[in-house]
A and B are shown apart, each in its own frame.
Chain A
Amino acid sequence: MPNQQVSPYTPIPMHLLRSYPESVDGALRSIELSFDNPADCRTFYEAYDPGQFCQISIFGKGESAIGVASAAWEGDFVRFTVQRMGVVTTALHQMQVGDALGIRGPLGNGFPLNEWKGKDLIFIGGGSAFSTLYATVLHITGSSLKKEFGRISVIYGTRSSGHALYKESLKRWHENHEIDLFQTIDNPEPNWPYMVGFVPDAVRAVKPSPNNAVAIVCGPPIMTKFTLPILEDLGFKPEAVYTSLEKRMKCGIGKCGRCNIGPKYVCKDGPVFSLAELHTLPNEL
């Protein structure tokens, strides 16, 4: 046995199945990884809740914490959408099909879907942070879960139409109205049929009802900052607003120390927090 698999620091062996650009500028790529040992796939998705993340590991380079962007029903793989930023993410962008890598996870708490049952869900996303929201929508719409929730709406903004992730799914949702998709871009483009403007303005225009509803906000800090007051104006209580946080992480399991906000570790107590919870924590985002 080369691998004793007793240590939570040892990654699950994987290899690259597919890799494709998501944004026009190439800064964002989706990679789909399959499990070297097929049994690991079942274990992974049995433990998985949407909103969780993994530490993607490339031996010799290091690890990078990335949100899961796939649903179990899609197949025997895990998708991540990776923004090219540093050593590991650059290496992930350059990997070839078949190359070996690993993941540790699923890590973190994920979205509390059980608490949300019976409610309308309003997903509000911007830029690359949309990945775990996308995974959550896939998870719900692709299974019998869908009937356990009310209306599902997505408000999604990107710099331009070319910067949008998951373009085929967005196109499908625009066409089949499986969910209510409100897509917006920062600046006008010829023949763009949807909204133009920043996400907070789009939220104000869509005006989602707070009645029996939950809003989930994931985006760049500036988007979150200006969206939260609008949700408050619309009547959303802090208990009904959720967000997913990011921090520099190493271990992912609450040991290495660095990702704390007050007494909470973003890696294991988060990354998902309600606004009500965040209000009890020090302001150190």
Chain B
Amino acid sequence: MNYILSRNDIPKVLEMWSKTHQVFAPQKYSNFSAFLPYEGKAEQLCLEYPHNTRYPPKALFLPQSEELLSYTKDGQASEPALDAKPKLIFGIHACDTRAMTLLDTVFDAKDYQDPFWKARRESTAIITLGCDEPCSTCFCTTVEGGPFNRQGADIIMTDIGESFHLEALTPKGENLCKDLPYASAAEDRKVSNVQEKATSDMPKAFDTEGLKTALDANFDSSYWEEVQRSCLGCGVCTFLCPTCFCFDIADEAARSKRYRNWDTCMFSVYSREASGHNPRPSRKERTRQRLMHKYSYWVDQIGKIGCTGCGRCVRYCPVGLDIRAMLREAGKLPVEVIHA
């Protein structure tokens, strides 16, 4: 069913949802924005920002630093309690919601499941806020998504002016909307206009047709040497990326705990072996790994590109490297040479 949430009612409705859920909403924080617990400070909300929160909401499921276990002196391990509290993410953009469904294929795989990820996913409802004005760094429509993509959402929310239009997509979503007024037929009509316009306004950022073939054929190409020249290897593209999931595992002896922390393929130590050998010794191999993972290896593994076009890596790269330009160039490379 479709419902209406008037702009003025947002604080009230968030309060209402807070009675049954821990509510996370996009909020200003210091000099950036992130999905933070909503504590009644409506003035901090940044639903109107066209671009994504700088800090990616994947952290709500895969925290930047997370305890895996604690241990005693005699070697007894205890696992932290699973987070099964009902949670609600309000106002997350479609690219970030869709990223969770891609990451599910990693953390909720057939062979091994990650209980910490799974518990948070199962206890969280997601209200996607579609983007009526996608910004210049966005390219979701190029990579199998869209500003109103519904994958992973319990409710899809559309800004129709005075109010937001909410379409409940799952029983979880319906349940959240039960105290809201129904949308009128006229309001429903506004939605398709907004959604279609936003989608058709987005230019194609690069051609994905044949891109994987070109990447695979050019693994040993000098292209990688050229493309990485200005890269600082800071890793911000991967830390802020909603589909990057790599982590390190480290013990903190002072706290008697074992943690996992976000890690990045852009750092040398990431793949350096105990012998000193490193299969990715320079930024050339590491840049190649980042792009190949998203645009070739994900496709091999699950048949989908592992990028949702959120644009964070474009927006926040300190030297202005643009993955779209890199892929446009890669797509033009010759494909005759297939690596042995």
Contact = CB atoms under 8 A, between A and B. Distances in A.
A248 interface: yes
Interface string B76-93: 111100100000000000
A85 interface: yes
A62 B251 contact: yes
Nearest to B275: A85
A3 B79 contact: yes
Contacts of B265: 257-258
Contact of A268 (B78, B111, B115, B277): B111
27 contacts: A3-B76, A8-B112, A8-B114, A9-B68, A59-B258, A62-B250, A64-B274, A89-B274, A102-B75, A221-B277, A248-B272, A250-B248, A251-B249, A253-B112, A256-B249, A257-B265, A260-B289, A260-B297, A263-B297, A263-B300, A279-B340, A282-B339, A283-B219, A283-B220, A284-B219, A284-B280, A284-B285
- A5, A8, A221: which has the most chain B beta carbons within 10 Å? A8
A255 B285 contact: no
A282 B219 contact: yes
A253 to B, nearest CB: 4
Contacts of B277: 221
Contacts of A284: 219, 279-280, 285
Interface in B263-320: 263, 265, 270-275, 277, 279-280, 285, 289, 292-293, 296-298, 300-301
Interface string B212-250: 000010011000000000000000000000000111111
Nearest to B69: A10
Contacts of A250: 247-249, 263
Interface of B: 68-69, 71, 74-79, 82, 106-107, 109, 111-116, 216, 219-220, 245-251, 253, 256, 258, 260, 263, 265, 270-275, 277, 279-280, 285, 289, 292-293, 296-298, 300-301, 339-340
B247 A257 contact: yes
A102 B111 contact: no
A248 B271 contact: yes
Contacts of B280: 284
Nearest to A279: B340
Nearest to A65: B274
A164 B53 CA distance: 58
A208 to B, nearest CB: 25
A250 B296 CA distance: 23
B169 to A, nearest CB: 28
Contact of A59 (B256, B273, B285, B340): B256
Contact of B75 (A101, A263, A268): A101
A7 to B, nearest CB: 5
Contacts of A247: 271, 273, 279
B340 A7 contact: no
Interface of A: 2-11, 13, 15, 59-64, 85-86, 89, 100-102, 221, 246-248, 250-251, 253-263, 268, 279, 282-285
B270 A258 contact: yes
A34 to B, nearest CB: 13
A interface majority secondary structure: loop
B69 A9 contact: yes
A5 B68 CA distance: 12
Q: Which 5 pairs from chain A and chain B are nearest by CB?
A: A100-B75, A257-B246, A263-B300, A60-B253, A253-B112
Contacts of A63: 249
A63 B273 CA distance: 13
Contacts of B216: 282
B264 to A, nearest CB: 9
B213 to A, nearest CB: 14
Contacts of B251: 59-62
B74 A258 contact: no
A176 B250 CA distance: 47
B38 to A, nearest CB: 30
A257 B263 contact: yes
Nearest to B249: A250
A15 to B, nearest CB: 8
A101 B114 CA distance: 23
A102 B271 contact: no
A33 to B, nearest CB: 12
A3 B112 contact: no
B76 A2 contact: yes
B285 to A, nearest CB: 7
Given A247-B271, A247-B273, A248-B271, A10 B79 contact: yes
A84 B282 CA distance: 27
Contacts of B109: 254
A268 B246 CA distance: 15
A7 B111 contact: no
A221 B276 CA distance: 13
A102 B68 CA distance: 15
B337 to A, nearest CB: 13
Contact of B339 (A59, A60, A100, A283): A283
Given A6-B115, A255-B107, A263 B296 contact: yes
A248 B273 contact: yes
